Amino acid sequence: MKKILVIEDNQANLELLHEILTAEGYHVLQSQNAEDGIEAARREAPDLILMDIQLPRMSGVEALRVLKADEKTSKIKVVAITAFAMKGDRERFLREGFDGYIAKPFRYKEIIGTIKAFSQQQDRDAFSEKPRNQWRSV
């Protein structure tokens, strides 16, 4: 997994995530609102999206629905990044259809740990999707 799209309207958070992820070797794309983020997702086909919830006009939850309804973007893993860090929030966001959840303020280890877990899962999925019956015709 190489390409990560960050959709976040807070400039400081955007810069922080960019710095952390770039240092880990990821190619980072950035959008500051949901509409641009959806466009970037369709165009760039990122491996993972980090999605803020509170965005101007369209929320991160609404943007997630748009992404999951479009076959071009429906397979992309989307992790919510949010300051709604109260009991039950993780479950609520997973129920909304997010693939993961990172609470603000960001903790370096949590961000990297979450992203590496997705990365490894994706590598395993890619391996297991390879055809297994290629020798069976003999």
Distance CA 84, CA 97 (A): 16
Q: Which is nearer to Mn ion, 111 or 119 (CB)?
A: 111
Q: Which is nearer to Mn ion, 11 or 54 (CB)?
A: 54
Q: How far is the CB of 41 from Mn ion (least distance, A)?
A: 17
Stretch 56-115 residues interacting with Mn ion (CB under 5 A): none
- The answer to whether residues 55 and 9 touch, using CB atoms and an 8 Å cutoff, is yes
Distance CA 44, CA 30 (A): 11
Q: Which is nearer to Mn ion, 20 or 83 (CB)?
A: 83
Nearest to 79 by CA among 55, 65, 66, 97: 97
Q: How far is the CB of 58 from Mn ion (least distance, A)?
A: 12
Q: Which residue's C-beta sits nearest to Mn ion?
A: 54
Select the span of 28-36, 47-55, 60-68, 75-83 touching Mn ion (CB under 5 A).
Answer: 47-55
Sign of CA dihedral 40, 81, 2, 99: negative
Of positions 54, 108, 113, 123, contacts Mn ion by CB under 5 A: 54
Q: Is 11 in the site for Mn ion (CB under 5 A)?
A: no
Q: How far is the CB of 82 from Mn ion (least distance, A)?
A: 8
- SS3 of residue 125 by DSSP: helix
- The answer to whether residues 77 and 119 touch, using CB atoms and an 8 Å cutoff, is no
Q: Is 52 in the site for Mn ion (CB under 5 A)?
A: yes
- The answer to whether residues 37 and 31 touch, using CB atoms and an 8 Å cutoff, is yes
- Site residues for Mn ion per CB under 5 A: 9, 52, 54
